[in-house]
Amino acid sequence: MPTESQRPTAPSGEIDTDYDIGQDNIQASIGSLEVDIHNPVFPISALSVIILVLFCLIFDETAADAFGALRPWLTTQFDWVFAISMNIFVLFCLFLIFSPLGKVKIGGKSAMPEYSYPAWFSMLFAAGMGIGLVFYGVLEPLNHTLTPPLGAPGVLDSDGNLADAATAEAAVRLGMAGTIFHWGLHPWAVYSVVALALALFSYNKGLPLSIRSAFYPILGDRVWGWPGHLIDSLAALATLAGLATSLGYGSSQAAAGLNHVFGIEATIELQVIIIICVTGLALISVVRGLDGGVKLLSEVNMGMALLLFLFVLIFGATSDIFSTLFGGTAAYIINLPALSNWIGREDTGYFHGWTTFYWAWWIAWSPFVGMFIARVSLGRSVREFIICVLLAPTLACVMWMAVFGGTAIAQLVNDGYTGVQQTIANWTPELSLFAMLELLPLSTLTSLLGIVLVLVFFVTSSDSGSLVVDTICAGGKIDAPMPQRVFWCSFEGLVAIALLLGGGLGSLQALAIATGFPFAIVTVAMCYCIYQGLRSEPV
């Protein structure tokens, strides 16, 4: 609900710049259709996506070779860049929690939070990793238990027999630790850094809500020129390409789920229908705005996820879940230095194939998630912000992984059920959740809940992603005309359909993840900018 403005004093840490928000924008009316877009970020972002999509469609083999090789090349050659930068983000966040700078409030001293804790938490969680948890929550803990990180022996020996009790227990703990590592402090630290930078430089410093604003302490007024155009366009491109390809893959995953539960044939037509439905719902949500759309959807999501979580907790391997939870968390804390280390790693399958891949993915995703979190975080102190964005979701992920992964592990170790293991051997991660639910009661109902949960998560990210891309491409204006966000939301759906029909989802997704590399470096610079920005805030 709108409220009468009650903030009489302006935050005094504001940056004095001659730049006016929207000064580079093109405002035009085509009939009664109004547009207000940044020049050149809007055309660069839209055109580069169109060109890349055409490239992937027309030269699909070349694109698959080039982009397909780019990502593994980056994650093996520059594993140290990803590892070091992610470690910096975690340390920097921990520093902020304990530093006196943690007292600074987003939006200035008199700012009040706009959202309650549950609403805020639901939104940042849904934007941050909702879908991934549904897919990898079951598969990843079991995978790392079978082949644990750091070269430890797995839960099964080479003949497929259960290892002795001590080895098996150690494998489960290390497997959980290896999973929590990818979903815990590190990803949420990079989100926290980007989100805090954007929130600080817009709410406190008065700069437009755009990625470029965070670099003002380094670049000064040059952020309004080409360095800024480049950063913003790359962020918009990464977000668009990431969202569209996720949507494309998500539709095949949802179709596989429907096939599994109802036996409906997972044809390409079904997948296109799923994309159209998801995009259609996202359009309704995007028009309803932040409160009537994303916030509502995130809360619905949270409720459904909690329901599924409680169901598996109660009907799954309850006693094992708790030992997995505590054993895994302890192993995570103990092994955190070894897992974070990038020198002389011999478990390259885990380190390159999983860790560095995840790091690139989270970093590539961070402009989108960070910007969305920034927008809804007014009125929180920096300390409160970091604790809530870093620690609370980490805890939630740990519990989720313990419940879903712990049940899958117990099914294999205690009952000898190989259903989930099969989905790893065949690499069909979209079926892991359903394979695990099969052994529990009411599996049709819970599988259906799983499918709906995934679809609603997709609608939510398509919606919040469109808001973010629209804001970046409107020069940081969040009040740009409605047709623009409708355009971006539809555009994502169209790109997903085009790539699904013509091939090339993998190529564009590889490219999206590869943008994690430049962002890894600029995000480290962001830490310095946050430090400078916080120091100049009146405490």
Partner 1 sequence: MYSDIMVPVELAHIDHIGKALKVAADLARHYGAKVHYVGVTSALPSEVAHNPAEFTEKLQQFAADQGAAYGIDTQAHPLTSHDPTADLDLALEHAEQTIGADLVIMASHLPGFADHIFGSHGGHIASHSKLSVFIVR
Which CB atom, from 107 or from 242, has the smaller least distance to partner 1? 107
Angle at 378 (CA atoms; ends 377, 380), nearest 5 degrees:
75
Stretch that binds partner 1, among 7-15, 333-341, 353-361, 502-510 (CB under 8 A): 7-15
- Considering the complex, state which of residue 84 and residue 111 has its C-beta at the smaller distance from partner 1: 111
Q: Applying CB under 8 A, does 8 fall inside the site for partner 1?
A: yes
CB of 507 closer than 8 Å to CB of 68: yes
Q: Is 479 in the site for partner 1 (CB under 8 A)?
A: yes
* C-beta of residue 49 within 8 angstroms of C-beta of residue 508: no
**Could you tell me the CA-to-CA distances from 387 to 105, 113, 336, 480 in Å, in that order?**
14, 15, 19, 32
Residues 500-529, interacting with partner 1 (CB under 8 A): none
Give the interface segment with partner 1, choosing from 43-51, 338-346, 390-398, 483-491 (CB under 8 A). Answer: 483-491
Q: From CA 120, how far away is CA 299, in angstroms rounded?
A: 9
Omega cis (within 30) before 40: yes
Q: Is 5 a binder of partner 1 (CB under 8 A)?
A: yes
Q: Closer to partner 1 at the Cβ: 345 or 375?
A: 375
Instruction: List CB contacts of 170: < 8 A, sequence separation 6 or more.
Output: 148, 152, 153
Residue 162 CB burial class (10 angstroms; 0-12, 13-18, ≥19): middle
Closest CA to 475 of 99, 27, 10: 27
Q: Does 100 bind partner 1 (CB under 8 A)?
A: no
Tell me the window of 105-113, 188-196, 339-347, 417-425 that interacts with partner 1 (CB under 8 A): 105-113
504: left (phi over 0), alpha (psi -120 to 50) or beta: left
Instruction: Give the contact letters, 53-82, x = binds to partner 1 (CB under 8 A), - = no.
Output: ------------------------------
Q: What does the alpha-carbon distance between residue 41 and residue 45 come to, in Å, rounded to a whole number? A: 6
Question: Which residues within the stretch 307-346 sit at the binding site for partner 1 (CB under 8 A)?
Answer: none
Residue (93 or 459) nearer to partner 1, CB = 459
Q: What residues from 230 to 289 belong to the interface with partner 1 (CB under 8 A)?
A: 287-289
CB of 380 to partner 1, least distance (A): 13
Regarding 135 and contact with partner 1 (CB under 8 A), the answer is no
Three-point CA angle 437, 440, 442, nearest 5°: 90
- At position 150, the amino acid (one-letter code) is L
Specify the residue, 114 or 169, whose C-beta has the smaller distance to partner 1.
114
> Per CB under 8 A, does 378 bind partner 1?
yes
Contact flags string 11-30 toward partner 1, x per CB under 8 A: x--x-----xxx------x-
Helix/strand/coil (H, E, C) string of 185-254? HHHHHHHHHHHHHHHHHHHHCCCCCCHHHHHHHHHHHHHHCHHHHHHHHHHHHHHHHHHHHHHHHHHHHH
2 binds partner 1 (CB under 8 A): yes
Tokens describing residue 95: 């520093």
What part of residues 279-308 is at the interface with partner 1 (CB under 8 A)? 287-293
What token pair was written down for 52?
């890349």
Choosing from 220, 225, 349, 483, the residue that interacts with partner 1 (CB under 8 A) is: 483
Beta-bridge partner residues of 240: none
CB of 376 to partner 1, least distance (A): 8
Is residue 223 within the footprint of partner 1 (CB under 8 A)?
Answer: no
Only one of the segments 62-70, 108-116, 154-162, 422-430 lies at the binding site for partner 1 (rule: CB under 8 A); that segment is 108-116
The reply to whether 107 sits near partner 1 by the rule CB under 8 A is yes
Q: To 5 degrees, how large is the angle CA 530–CA 240–CA 491?
A: 140
The Cα angle at residue 117 between residues 137 and 476, in degrees rounded to 5: 90
d(CA 416, CA 93): 42
| Residue (281 or 378) nearer to partner 1, CB | 378
Nearer Cβ to partner 1, position 169 or 299?
A: 299
What x/- string results for residues 186 through 215 when contact with partner 1 is judged by CB under 8 A? Answer: ----------------xx--xxxx------
Q: How far is the CB of 370 from partner 1 (least distance, A)?
A: 15
Q: Does 114 bind partner 1 (CB under 8 A)?
A: yes
CB of 86: closest distance to partner 1 in angstroms?
29
Cβ neighbours, 10 Å, residue 310: 11
Q: Give the shortest CB-43-to-partner 1 separation in angstroms.
A: 20
Using CB under 8 A as the binding rule, whether residue 154 contacts partner 1 is answered as no
User: Which residue, 187 or 475, is less far from partner 1 as judged by CB?
Assistant: 475
| Integer angstrom CA distances of residue 453 from 285, 381, 518 | 16, 32, 33
Bridge partners of residue 105, in order along the sequence: 381
Nearer to partner 1, 376 or 495 (CB): 376
- Contact positions toward partner 1, by CB under 8 A? 1-5, 7-11, 14, 20-22, 29, 31-33, 107-108, 111, 114, 202-203, 206-209, 287-293, 375-376, 378, 476-483, 485-486
